[in-house]
A and B are shown apart, each in its own frame.
Chain A
Amino acid sequence: MAFLKQYISDVYRAVSSLLKGMKTTGSYFVRPKEIITQQYPDNRASMTIPERFRGEVVMTHDENNEHACTGCTACELACPNATIKIVTKFDTTPEGKKKKALDTFVYHLELCTMCNLCVEACPTSAIKMAQSFEHSVYDRSQLLKKLNKPGSKLRAGVE
């Protein structure tokens, strides 16, 4: 008798779990408004990409053309496949001391896997992930990017 009880409860639980799955897919079927597909080339102008999407690494510059990168190379060390190369220079401070500063932030987009480790490693939040994704070019040398804008300098107060 215990066997029969087990058998019937097995069948009952199997059927109810299957029905639960069918309910989920069925509810999506009757609610076409929830379709998340974007008609990409058609809606290129109006398309919105989720903020968490990782398209490429960019360096944020403010209106004075200043960035927050101190040239500490934490991102370069964090990068698992040598996508980032930091070239540093020595600035002289008003007191006459020499100080290490960023010269060029070299970013190889063709090597990047968008793992976000550099952004997490950055102590001053100088770099972030952008949502742009149309990266195709005809020559791979065009994928080598300099992230700091020409003439930009370190924002005052960032150590």
Chain B
Amino acid sequence: MFSLEHITDFIQQWLYATFNPTMALILECVIVMLLVIGLFAVLGLVLVLMERKVAARMQIRLGPNRVGPKGMLQTAADTLKLMMKEGLTPDGADKFLFNLAPFIVMIAAMLIMAPIAFAKGFQIWDINIGVLYVSAVSSVSVIGILMAGWASNNKYSLLGAMRSGAQIVSYELSAGLSIISIVVLSGSLQVSDIIASQQTGWWLFRGHIPAIIAFVIFIIAVTAETNRAPFDLAEAESELTAGFHTEYSGMKFALFFLAEYINIFIVCAIGATLFLGGWMPLHIGHWEGFNQIMDYIPSSLWFLGKTFFLIFLIMWFRWTFPRLRVDQLLSLEWKYLLPISMFNLLLITLIAIMGWHF
């Protein structure tokens, strides 16, 4: 059976057998770096195309259909166009910060990649505080956004960055509380442990209604954290032209654009890991035959399937809901999501202590 775990094990053994340990470690790091960059490039192309196609279908349009078969190469052509464009820096901008900001956003996105388990035994770094690490590093990207907004020397950019800051700080609370509720159920912060605890069933189903509420709140909060519609006040093209990346062009703009999609992928991967069992196949009770058939599907496909399902859900939100006002945005978080998720966390703790979950 196809397994990424065997491939990585084989490569590791070969490296350590051929080179001395230091050299082997360095080579491993290089391979991982290349893989992550490759994944980023592919994800950027695929997700942007997917978004445009999903948007088109939901608005009874066709979407890109000219470049390549069924428009598959549209995003590749767009990337080529962006690369050839001039990366303009405004006169009044703080040149250093202006050029640094896209990389900060990008690096923050890259860092969160570390503890995500893409398949069985296929994980860059199985750190024992994986979930904490993810929620901590995900807030670094707001620094990049604030930096971009401030350094642009443009009122729209600054307003967009400020809004983005307020939004991310607010919604991190309820996202964090939803994550904690799964940590309470599984009793571990380590990503591999959380996935292993879902061997008999995904937490979304095992945790009764409170887990479903936590899942819904998590999805809402991460939609806000990634600055996507209906929470795209940071960009708000009708009010702020393009928000914090108004002044960016060419490849620097492409990095922001890419980081947005990578962040969507990452938060959806975390959602899939916490609530939908990561790479764990769907198992139903004692249906042995069914469970064995499910085991034959490679774990990487399970992970990608779940992640892309959540990405589709977030795209569905974007093309359905109108944008919130700033006051509505904040009252949704502080008056609804936060109290509900706090109460929900209490319920889940009770369930975990009494062992009421399946």
Contacts and interface: CB of A to CB of B under 8 A. Distances in A.
Interface of A: 11, 18, 21-22, 24-26, 28-29, 32, 34-37, 39
B62 A28 contact: no
Nearest to B336: A11
B84 interface: no
B320 interface: yes
Given A11-B336, A35-B62, A37-B62, A24 B57 contact: no
A39 B70 CA distance: 13
Scoring A18, A29, A32, A37 by chain B CB atoms within 10 A of each residue's CB, the highest score goes to A29
A29 B59 CA distance: 8
A25 B62 contact: no
Contacts of A28: 57-60
B58 A35 contact: no
B319 A25 contact: yes
20 contacts: A11-B336, A11-B340, A18-B321, A22-B317, A22-B320, A25-B58, A25-B316, A25-B319, A26-B316, A28-B60, A29-B54, A29-B58, A29-B316, A32-B57, A35-B57, A35-B61, A35-B62, A36-B60, A36-B61, A37-B60
Interface string B44-67: 000000000010011111100000
Contacts of B60: 28, 34-37
Nearest to B62: A37
Contacts, number: 36
Nearest to B61: A37
A43 to B, nearest CB: 12
Contacts of B340: 11
B207 to A, nearest CB: 19
Contacts of A21: 320-321
A27 to B, nearest CB: 9
Interface in B161-214: none
Nearest to B312: A29
Nearest to B322: A21
A73 B158 CA distance: 58
A72 to B, nearest CB: 43
6 closest Cβ pairs, A-B complex: A25-B58, A37-B62, A25-B320, A21-B320, A29-B57, A37-B61
Scoring B54, B57, B316, B317 by chain A CB atoms within 10 A of each residue's CB, the highest score goes to B57
A105 B187 CA distance: 85
B111 to A, nearest CB: 33
Nearest to B53: A29
A9 to B, nearest CB: 13
Interface in B237-251: none
A11 to B, nearest CB: 7
B231 to A, nearest CB: 13
A117 B239 CA distance: 35
A48 B321 CA distance: 33
Contacts of B54: 29
A29 B54 CA distance: 7
A24 B316 CA distance: 11
A24 B60 CA distance: 11
Nearest to A20: B320
Contacts of B321: 18, 21
A37 B321 CA distance: 23
Interface in B56-109: 57-62
